[in-house]
Amino acid sequence: MIKVHGVHGSPFVRKVLIALELKGLEFQQIPQMPFMEVSEEYRKLSPLGKIPALEDGDLQVSDSTVICEYLEDAYPEPPLYPRDPVAKARARWYEEYGATRLAELTAGIFFQRFMRPFAFQQEPDEELIAKIIEKRLPPELDYLEGQVPAEGFLFGDFQMADLALVSPFINAAYANYEVDASQWPLLAAYIARVSAIPEVAALVAREKSALGLDSPG
Ligand SMILES: N[C@@H](CCC(=O)N[C@@H](CS)C(=O)NCC(=O)O)C(=O)O
């Protein structure tokens, strides 16, 4: 059976879990914490020591984008990437952008507001959070406002590119950051649409429970 190494709450693990669910593949999730000393054994699966990593038969591979592209090649139905080369190149760009610039900025908010107080018992760096929210994110949100569709998804049906763009914002929401719908209405509505996809909503509920975010108060 396919094995996915990683824990709930990672925007990268989320991409892989949802790809597996959308493709109807059975899998086993093996907990692997990020930002810790990793075993020699895990480093064979993920040479950079990051999550997620995937095992499928003889294949051992890491990096969410590489994993999702493998799943698409090995299990083509339903398609999670466009088949047309031009659209596919655009989809890969969005996935790259989501996994780099967007993930970096939203991880900054998540790390400061969530990981520091709850995992490391440290105060969040409010100055850094303000710089991300007020200075560094707005140009990216302006860019996205011009890219996302007013209705539906980037390439027709919901696909990996949509999840790759929205997954970082799910982490930011865990840290109480929401895109301001009065300034970026198309983006805010698009994030809500992607978050309402049943597989996404179900995983977010499981993540909230794992992160202790579902308790009242
Ligand atoms: N490009 C990688 C990024 C994976 C990544 O950065 N994962 C984080 C957790 S969200 C991690 O494992 N960080 C640990 C580290 O950097 O040592 C992917 O798409 O899978």
Does the beta carbon of 195 sit less than 6 angstroms from any atom of ligand 1?
A: no
Domains of the chain by residue range: 2-74, 85-204
Q: How far apart are CA 136 and CA 180, in angstroms?
A: 15
Q: Does domain 2-74 have CATH number 2.30.40.10?
A: no
Residue in 64, 60, 9 with CA at minimum distance from that of residue 35: 9
CATH of 85-204, one of 3.90.180.10, 3.50.50.60, 1.20.1050.10, 3.10.20.600: 1.20.1050.10
For 60-64, 122-126, 143-147, 170-174, which range has the lowest pLDDT when averaged over its residues? Answer: 122-126
Structure tokens at 120: 């490391």
* Closest Cα to atom 2 of ligand 1: 63
Q: How far apart are CA 128 and CA 163, in angstroms?
A: 26
Q: What is the pLDDT of residue 185?
A: 98
Residue in 215, 174, 163 with CA at minimum distance from that of residue 8: 174
Does the beta carbon of 29 sit less than 6 angstroms from any atom of ligand 1?
A: no
Q: What is the pLDDT of residue 57?
A: 96
| pTM given for the model | 0.94
Tell me how far CA of residue 137 lies from CA of 106, 111, 126, 157, in angstroms: 8, 16, 15, 27
Q: Taking all residues of the chain, what is their mean pLDDT, rounded to a whole number?
A: 95
- Residues near 145 by Cβ (< 8 Å), separated by ≥ 6? 184, 185, 186, 187
Structure tokens at 164: 């790759």
Residue 217 clears pLDDT 70, i.e. is over it: no
Residue in 134, 199, 132 with CA at minimum distance from that of residue 163: 199
- How far out from the chain centre does Cα 73 lie? 20
Question: Best substitution site from 50, 51, 62, 211 to test ligand 1's pocket, by max atoms within 8 Å of Cβ?
Answer: 50
Q: What is the pLDDT of residue 152?
A: 97
Does the beta carbon of 10 sit less than 6 angstroms from any atom of ligand 1?
A: yes
Model pLDDT for residues 168-196, shown as the tens digit of each residue: 999 999 999 999 999 999 999 999 999 99
Does the beta carbon of 63 sit less than 6 angstroms from any atom of ligand 1?
A: yes
